[in-house]
Structure 1
Amino acid sequence: MLDILYQDEHLVAVNKPSGWLVHRSWLDRHEKVVVMQTVRDQIGQHVFTVHRLDRPTSGVLLMALSNEVARQMSQQFEHHQLNKVYHAVVRGHVHEADTIDYPLVEHLDKIADKFAKQDKEAQPAISHYRGLSQVEVPIAVGPYDTARYSLVELTPQTGRKHQLRRHMKHIFHPIIGDSAYGDLRHNRAVAEHFGCQGLMLHASHLALQHPVTHQPLLISAPWDSRWQNLMTEFGWASQCPEYNGVEINLAITQDSSVR
């Protein structure tokens, strides 16, 4: 059973676990446990995807309960008419708040994007980040006697594939547990010393305008035990989304510069 964060007659949102596929795909033809089918069986109703989360990413996943609502929600995502807030644990100390404006060339997966056409041109990609907490632990990684990590809040303005993961690598603060863009030495260190495996990227909050009632809607996903254990180890427990009441700007605006 998945944790249902929000449900009405038009929408349902769940807290997607890390490692789950949103739907069956070429990534794993033999994977039978996927979010869409699990939610369908759980609520006894067909569901429609309106956006995706990478398999290793956890957090808020919104689905529609009709084709028409799915179409409206897909337009909101396409036109950036909602706000998404993620949390990540990254290598190094991040104290500042800043914006990453770094175009990305789409990376196609040999299996998942088997039939997609490669776009050679880099597409605009903008992410905002803010350092929340920092820690230095007495663990030797590489040439250093200690290891530094930060908890960061990430807000993507655009929606390129693996955007947050690639942007954090670009500024030399890769996300812990990222096997594609991360620092494998730190991934191993966190797994070995703190028992925390997998990508430390969580979709914590989603703010949108309800497609039918047109009222502001804020959906938040608490961190799972893996996250909470690491937050306790690092002394960051007070930063958990279910504790700190993070405020999000609910003013939904359209960014016409990126389509």
Structure 2
Amino acid sequence: MSLEIIYQDEWLVAVNKPSGWLVHRSWLDRDEKVVVMQTVRDQIGQHVFTAHRLDRPTSGVLLMGLSSETGRLLAQQFEQHQIQKRYHAIVRGWLQAEGELDYALTEELDKIGDKYSRADKAPQPAVTHYRGLAVTEMPVAVGRYATARYSLVEMLPKTGRKHQLRRHMAHLRHPIIGDSKHGDLRQNRAAAAQFGCDRLMLHASELSLAHPVTGEPLTLRARFDATWMQALSHFGWRGILPMNEDLEFNAPDVQDELNEPDT
């Protein structure tokens, strides 16, 4: 299977990472056959170097360098919060406000992968700007409620803590649909059964940065996959994000308006 290349020049390549794909192999998933880095390497015929990552269930823009030096420069931009990241999510309930959540997060540790990490670290600053774009109420009974409410939300993380967006939305009592760890299990099951939302409904829609070599402004956008498009149709939200409908790919001069781990 080949990946959709959003952008490529002599220094960079960006792909639209599918949900369910690992960015790179780890010793926890050494038998995994579907890995972005290896697939892109085979697809373009040269090595790639990661500068950031997206968690396995998250889809969207993944940017890589075509040399270790370019990868290092990109990573530096991410670390210094010089790259703006824009995400979209479908969440439980009606979220119609716009605001900035400044809510520190204690680091989440994996039982195996982080077994040697300190468990007593102080909470780390975490800031997310969020904006409700649309709401809907569907005639689907969930728990004691006769209907189910959903919102389409745009998020701009100002920091890059582990699972930041998932945890911040859960803190606002609007967990992201499909979030098995921080979400609402009954809502997740209902959304999967009724609307095909059988994955984490979190998409890295856009990255905006200064090109690490040329300095030119660069905006990279990733279209939504079929699961997202089906949900947008069910909820009457097609057209709210028109860039998804007519986006042209492989255009090195894409520019527009205007940080690391998948938040």
Which band: TM-score by shorter chain? over 0.9
- Note the 1:100-139 alignment, pairs <5 A: 100-118=101-119, 120-139=121-140
Q: CA deviation at 1:32?
A: 1.7
Q: Does 1:231 align with 2:238?
A: no
Residues 219 and 257 of structure 2 are in contact (CA less than 8 Å); yes or no, is this contact kept in structure 1?
A: no
1:257 is matched with which residue?
A: none
* SS of 2:27 mapped into structure 1: coil
Q: Greater relative contact order: 1 or 2 (C-alpha under 8 angstroms, separation 6 or more)?
A: 2
Which residue identity does 1:49 align to in structure 2?
A: T
2:85 is matched with which residue?
A: 84
TM-score, structure 2 length as denominator? 0.91
**Within 2, Cα distance between the matches of 1:27 and 1:5?**
29
Residues 238 and 244 of structure 1 are in contact (CA less than 8 Å); yes or no, is this contact kept in structure 2?
A: no
* SS of 2:192 mapped into structure 1: helix
Q: How many residues align?
A: 250
Which residue identity does 1:196 align to in structure 2?
A: C
* SS of 2:212 mapped into structure 1: coil
**Within 2, Cα distance between the matches of 1:24 and 1:18?**
15
Cα shift readout 1:62-113 (whole Å, capped 9, x = no counterpart): 0001111111111100010010000000000011100110000110112333
Residues 15 and 61 of structure 2 are in contact (CA less than 8 Å); yes or no, is this contact kept in structure 1?
A: yes
Inter-CA distance 152–193: structure 2 relative to 1 (3 Å threshold): same
**Within 2, Cα distance between the matches of 1:44 and 1:115?**
37
- Note the 1:34-183 alignment, pairs <5 A: 34-118=35-119, 120-183=121-184
Residues 13 and 62 of structure 1 are in contact (CA less than 8 Å); yes or no, is this contact kept in structure 2?
A: yes
1:189 is matched with which residue?
A: 190
2:252 is matched with which residue?
A: none
Q: CA deviation at 1:221?
A: 0.1
Q: Does 1:242 align with 2:237?
A: no
- Note the 1:201-212 alignment, pairs <5 A: 201-212=202-213
TM-score, structure 1 length as denominator? 0.93
Q: Structure 1 vs Structure 2: percent identity of aligned residues?
A: 64
Cα shift readout 1:133-153 (whole Å, capped 9, x = no counterpart): 100000111110000000000
**Within 1, Cα distance between the matches of 2:8 and 2:119?**
37
Gaps of 5+ in 2: 248-254
After alignment, is 160-169 or 115-124 more displaced?
115-124
Q: CA deviation at 1:114?
A: 4.5
**Within 2, Cα distance between the matches of 1:99 and 1:66?**
36
After alignment, is 42-51 or 233-242 more displaced?
233-242
Inter-CA distance 24–203: structure 2 relative to 1 (3 Å threshold): same
